[in-house]
Amino acid sequence: MEAISIMMEDHRNIRRMTSVMNRIITSIRNTKEVNEQDLRDVVDFCRGYADEHHHAKEEKILFPELLKIDFDNFDGMINHVMLVEHDEGRKHATGIETNLNKYLETQDEKYLSGIIIELSYYIQTLNEHTEKEDECLYVFAENALPASSKEYVDALTKEKQQADIDAKIVEHYLTILERLEKTYA
């Protein structure tokens, strides 16, 4: 399925960002300082690329088609694992931003620790999550979806992907990612 290939490419970019986030953690630990713009760009990427660009394709296109299949495991896997982990990622992105704002306001180092904790949880959540999707959920989707559903998911996913490319959304977030990779090389 072309949709799965597109989503797996998104995952590679998300994991590139989690790698950058690991290096940001090291930088904060070593310097006891944060670069406000870099962290705001990380949060923007988490919300705009990982969530609005990528998770939207899953939540609005792929998952509903999988839930139409009479297979009990899909309900549990999607509603009690995948969607919960999407929400966890959102929570950690908010936690990064909240701790950054409090640190900038107070200069209290406990908020530096809060930033590190939220970055760490986000990294763990998204790395494990993308691995589950790549190695399990997407394989199940390829094997279980009927041809008509595969065509439907492919068509809508390509349409969403192209709309985001045309709107320069993908370019915007990949530019952020590449800049941060160079900064934290």
Cβ neighbours of residue 111 closer than 8 Å, sequence gap 6 or more? 99, 100, 102, 103
- Angstrom CA distances, 118 to 21, 112, 113, stand at 10, 10, 9
Instruction: Answer yes or no: are the C-beta atoms of 71 and 144 closer than 8 Å.
Output: yes
Number of domains in the chain: 1
Look up the pTM and report it.
0.95
* CATH at 23: 1.20.120.520
- Give the domain extent around 173: 2-183
Question: pLDDT digit of tens for each residue in the chain (185 aa)?
Answer: 999 999 999 999 999 999 999 999 999 999 999 999 999 999 999 999 999 999 999 999 999 999 999 777 788 899 999 999 999 999 999 999 999 999 999 999 999 999 999 999 999 999 999 999 999 999 999 999 999 999 999 999 999 999 999 999 999 999 999 999 999 99
11: which DSSP letter? H
d(C-alpha 125, C-alpha 116), whole Å: 14
- From the list 60, 52, 132, 62, the residue with the least C-alpha distance to 93 is 52
